[in-house]
Each structure stands twice: as C-alpha cells, then as structure tokens.
Amino acid sequence: MSRLSALFVGRVKEPGMYADGGGLYLQVSRSGTKSWIFRYSLNGREREMGLGPQHTITLADARVMATEARRMKLSGIDPIDARKSQRQAKRLEDARAITFNQASIAYIKANRAAWKNPKHAAQWESTLTAYADPIFGDLPVAAIDTALVMKALEAIWSEKPETASRLRGRIESVLDWATARGYRTGENPARWRGHLDKMLPARAKVQAVQHHAALPYRDLPAFMSSLRVQPGIGALALEFAILTAGRTGEVIAATWDEMDLDAATWTVPKERMKAKREHKVFLGDRALAILRPLKAAARSDFVFPGNLPNKPLSNMAMLSTLKRMNRKDLTTHGFRSTFRDWAAETTDYPSEVVEMALAHVVANKVEAAYRRGDLFEKRKGLMRDWDQAATPR
C-alpha cells in the first residue's frame, strides 16, 4: 500500500501502469497524459474503474476514492455500477429541476391546441410573465410554496382582483401539470378552496361588479346616425354587432357560409360560441342592408375582411371606430347591455327570449322550448323591433 509518492507521480513520463497498492494504479499513456485507475475483481469478474486525470485528482484524492471503492466491494456493491446509478439519479434530478417559467411554457404549449381563442395563450403568457415570473419564475417548480404564491397574489389581490384571480388559477394549473409530470410532489399551494380562501378575501368582497360601458338605449338612434357616416369596414361591423346583439369575436369571424340572406338568418356554429352551442340570429332590415353590398363585393370568406388576404377584421377595429367618434366611454360589448336594458324596459318579451337572443345559457325548460323552435320565432319579432329602435330618427 502507498507505494507511490507525490514527487514520483509528478515526474514520471514513461508510459505504463504504476501500482500504488490495493488496486490503485497511475496510468501514463504514450502521449504523456496521466490518470488514475482502480482495478478490482468481483464475482469472478475483472474490472477497471477510471478515477479521473492526475492533473485534477491528487495522489491523496485517488487513495481516498480507492478506499471508498474497496469498502463498497466488501459490501458486495460493484463500484462501477454504483457510480452509474448515482449519475443516472443526478441526471434524473436535473431533468426534474425545471423552473416555474419552463413549466408554464410547457403547459401553454401542451394546451394551446385546445384553447378556442388564439389570444388565450398570449393572455396566459402575459399574466404569468408580469406577476409570477418576477417572484419565482427562475425557481425550481418543485420549490414553489404557499409563501411564494401569496407574495405574487397579495400585491394585486385588492388592486386588480380580476387579474389576481386569473393569475391564481393559472399558477394552480401550471403546478398541477408539473405534479402530474413528476416535477413536484405534494399539495398545490395555489389551491383556493380550503387553502388560499382562508388567507385571502373572496374576490367578490374586494371588487364591485364592473359592467361594460353601455349607451343608454334612448341615445341609440342618435348614436347610430353618427355611426352610419363613419368610413371603413370597422364601422359597418360595429353597426352589425349592435343590430344582432353579437359579441365582437362572433362578428369579426363571421363567414359568408353562415349567412342566409334570403331567410334573413345568421347561424353561428357552436365552435365559435362562448356556450359551445349553435346560435341562430334573425337579421332585421338594416342588418341585411349592411350585408348585401358587402356580399356583392366579397373577395374574402369573411363578411368583414381585414387588411390581410382572407383574414378577418382586427378585434380592435370596432373600438377604433368608437375612439374616432370620441366615444371612448363606450365598449362594443356594452351595446349588449343596451339591448338588454331596452328589451326589459320598453318591451313585453319574456326574459328567456331576450337571454336566448344574447346567446346566454338558460334553464333546461327553456332549452326544450328552444329545440321546438318557438323561441326563435319569438326572437324574430324581438330583433325586428330592435332594428327599428336603432333606426336614426
């Protein structure tokens, strides 16, 4: 044992294997490089285990490593197999040590195809980048705990409750995904029920209900008179949205195969509806008057085409029209509230008819009536009256 000296190890240049004892050898190659080898026999099998280069591993270090290898051999453990297992475990640990930011990117990528709105992924990225990443984006996803989640949420819970609520739900989803993939274990620290609800006030208690800015229905004829003189496809799309009580996304993505001008109907497929149900809209005289010249000049599948070939109008086009009219106090969605107020205060149509016109989910008994078709017949009268109410005087 301990046959070699540090001086000899540093000076020797002749190629060969130089024994230190106990299975430890200094190997000098023909090119002059030096490394440490541990030779041993286990279960009748001769093996050589490299311990590292001499310029990094000193003689003293090599002896310690050889001693540890001999101890493992005496316990019936193959030192080479043990080192392989250790390295595999380290690689697995490193693979699992992804950051929260990496986990959120992977989650969004995995779910992007299932989201009906292409903007959904961008909204997820924006929320997490703005509020979660500065707190724990670079930390391992396995290290995210309640304290870190609370730190991200508390800063905006009272000031921006809607955003904070969405942030919490998105953090929870990412952490659930990470748990399912084996990147973390234990309870989800972003869980609301029975956990964060004990530490944060309910969103309803910190946020008054905020309605979309709506035009009083008595002012609608004057507004429509101003709207009709506005140039551009965005103004036509906005007027059509008002007359049909449609949502922005439903209107800008409308295609000509959804329109039956002879029957005066617009059938929105369930894939584009918020409630995932086909929605049939009766078109009044003015709505048809908007569509007919557009149909005659159509060069696109979309009723309201955008600037790019065969692409729909931008979802900001209607808001831009309102800004051009100096009506920043209004939103496109707010005209649905105008329609609802007008119907409730000036007509005798049942509320379920109005709700169906707005494509809201209603009670089962009304759904049954809708399937028989009578609500659509009633909605024809409602939409005719709305078309008249919106006509400039």
Tell me: the pLDDT tens digits for 242-270? Answer: 999 999 999 999 999 999 999 999 999 98
Measured CA to CA, the distance from residue 162 to residue 209 in angstroms comes to 10
Q: What is the pTM of this model?
A: 0.50
- Which residues have a Cβ under 8 Å from the Cβ of 240 and sit 6 or more positions away? 246, 251, 287, 290, 291, 303, 304
Tally of helices (H runs) and strands (E runs) in the chain: 17, 7
Between 58 and 117, the more confident residue is 58
Measured CA to CA, the distance from residue 112 to residue 89 in angstroms comes to 32
Rg (CA), the chain: 36
Measured CA to CA, the distance from residue 253 to residue 249 in angstroms comes to 6
Token reading at 364: 């089962």
16: confidence class by pLDDT, cuts 50, 70, 90? very high
Measured CA to CA, the distance from residue 40 to residue 19 in angstroms comes to 13
What's the whole-number average pLDDT of the chain? 88
Instruction: Specify the DSSP element, H or E, that contains 97.
Output: none
pLDDT at residue 209, as a whole number: 45
Mean pLDDT of 29-42: 94
Tell me: the pLDDT tens digits for 294-330? Answer: 999 988 999 999 988 888 998 899 999 999 999 988 9
Give percent of the chain with pLDDT exceeding 70: 92
pLDDT at residue 370, as a whole number: 47
Beta-sheet strands, E only, within the chain: 16-21, 24-28, 34-42, 45-53, 259-260, 265-268, 279-282
pLDDT at residue 121, as a whole number: 84
All structural domains of the chain, each given as residue ranges with its CATH number in brackets, are: 6-94 (3.30.160.390), 100-206 (1.10.150.130), 217-389 (1.10.443.10)
